[in-house]
Structure 1
Amino acid sequence: MKKIPLRTCIVCKEKMPKKQLGRIVINSDGNLEYDRTGKKNGRGAYICMNSQCLSKLNASILSRTFKQQITSEKTEDLKNILYKEMKTM
């Protein structure tokens, strides 16, 4: 029996199968991206793709997760991308 990889949402801290979560990546330039494939280079973090977790996502959560300062503008840009992505799921 194959083990299902579990990941933790950075907002609600709930453990879920990797495929049910969205992956956020910060690349070497410090830019935040949504990783649709789950294979982009950079430090990754996972978030539930639902409106409750997306609405609570903020710069302080991202800064703590990625261990560097994340601006509110970058956070808002990422949230807009994630909301669009959530609607296509």
Structure 2
Amino acid sequence: MATRKIPMRKDIVTGEMVPKQDLVRIVRTPEGEVQLDPTNRANGRGAYISLDVKVAKLAKKKRTFDRAFSVKLTDDFYDELIAYVDHQQARKELFGDGK
């Protein structure tokens, strides 16, 4: 059987290429809203960040998504992102990667 290609995406904070399943997508919708996209299917401009709390905290410190999407985001957005990444990281540790 042929091996399947693993889709890779670039983490916007660290600049590393990471398997897509280990990332979360942040999207700026056509209306200008910036939101988490856990389905990876929302319309709009997307950027990826690793499922690592340290990386999410670094994104807050550097205001990475403010620059990536040319908008001013509140700390609430970054706090929501950190909480989501923490939850997903803990879930992955508990249940594995679903294979």
Whichever residue aligns with residue 71 of structure 1, its letter is: K
The share of aligned pairs that are identical, in percent, is 32
Q: In 2, Cα distance between the equivalents of 1:27 and 1:13?
A: 23
Max Rg structure: 2
Partner of 2:93: none
Q: Which has the higher contact order (CA 8 A, sep 6+)?
A: 1
- Structure 1: state its 5+ residue gaps: none
Partner Cα separation in structure 2 for residue 2 and residue 64 of structure 1: 35
Alignment of 1:47-62 (within 5 A): 47-57=49-59, 58-59=62-63, 61-62=64-65
Give CA deviations for 1:29-87 in whole Å, capped at 9, x if unaligned: 2111100111111110000121221112143x324423x2x2142xx222122122123
**TM-score normalised over the length of structure 1:** 0.82
Show structure 2 runs of 5+ residues with no match: 89-99
TM-score (norm 2): 0.74
